[in-house]
Amino acid sequence: MKLYYLPGACSMAAHIILREAGYTFEIDKLNLATQLTAAGEDYRAVNSRGYVPALRLDSGDVLTEDTVVLQYLADQKPEAALAPPMGTMERYRLMEWLNFIATELHKNLGALFNPNITPEWKVQQIEMFSRRADWLDGQMADRPFLMGARFSVADAYLFTVIGWCPKLGIEIDRWPALKKHHALVAARPAVIATIQAEQ
C-alpha cells in the first residue's frame, strides 16, 4: 500500500490511521507544483485531480477522497476498531462527523491557504469556521473523542484540520474542548510517529 501525501495536509489523517491500524505501507511525498512525487511518479496518473490524499492498494487500485480512504483503512482492519461496523447506526454517526469535518471545517479552513484570498473573503471564512468550531466545542465538552470514549478515524481527521489553525493565525484557546482533544490525539504514539515521518 502506498499513501501519496503532502506534509501536514489532510492526507495526514490517513497516514495516522495507517499507523494506528498497524498497516505495512509506504509514503510518497507530492510536489504540488511539478505533480511529481519524491519517488519520481507522475501524480496525474495516480489522481488526475492533482490533490492528496491518494492511496494505492496492493491490487493496484487507487482510492481518493479523505473520508473514503479513512473508512476503507478502518474497514480492512476491523480488529483495530477505528470505525463502527458498516450498516450500524453508529457508523452513520461516524459518517456524519466525517462529512462535517470535510465540508464545514476542512473546506472553510482550506480556503485560507489560497494566496489570492481577499481580506474580506478571509474574514468571512474565519467567521464561518469559528461558528462551526463554537458548536463543535459544545458537542465535545462531555467526551474525549468525537464518537465518545473511543478514538476513531474522525478524530485523526479533526486533529489534522485543527492543526492548521496556528499556521492560519487562528487561536484555538477559545475552544477548550477542541484544544483538549488536540492534545489528547497529539500524544498518541501513532500520531507522534506520523508527524516525525512527515517532517
Radius of gyration of the chain (CA): 17
Between 34 and 149, whose beta carbon lies closer to ligand GSH?
Answer: 34
Does 50 sit near ligand GSH (CB under 6 A)? yes
Backbone angles phi, psi at 73, to 5 degrees: -60, -40
Select from 150, 131, 144, 137 the least CA-distant residue to 176: 137
Q: Is 20 in the site for ligand GSH (CB under 6 A)?
A: no
Nearest-10 Cα torsion for 174, 177, 180, 182:
-80
Report the C-alpha gap between 160 and 11 in whole angstroms.
Answer: 9
How many residues contact ligand GSH, by CB under 6 A? 12
Number of H helices, E strands in the chain: 8, 5
DSSP 3-state assignment of 8?
coil
Residue 44 found at the interface with ligand GSH (CB under 6 A)? no
Give the distance from CA 104 to its chain's centroid. 13
Applying CB under 6 A, the span of 51-59, 89-97, 135-143, 188-196 interacting with ligand GSH comes to 51-59
Pick 52 or 185: Cβ nearer ligand GSH = 52
Residue whose C-alpha is closest to residue 194's, from 16, 27, 30, 20: 16
Residues 95-114 that bind ligand GSH (CB under 6 A): 102, 110
- CB closer to ligand GSH, 6 vs 168: 6
Smallest separation (angstroms) from ligand GSH to the CB of 149: 27
| Closer to ligand GSH by Cβ: residue 88 or 103 | 103
Least spacing, CB of residue 57 vs ligand GSH, in Å: 16
Q: Which of residues 52-81 bind ligand GSH (CB under 6 A)?
A: 52-53, 65-66
Q: Can residue 191 be called a binding residue for ligand GSH (CB under 6 A)?
A: no
Helices (H), the chain: 11-20, 66-76, 89-100, 107-110, 119-140, 153-162, 176-186, 189-198
Q: Tell me the closest approach of the beta carbon of residue 197 to ligand GSH, in angstroms.
A: 17
Binding site for ligand GSH (CB under 6 A): 6, 9-10, 32, 50-53, 65-66, 102, 110
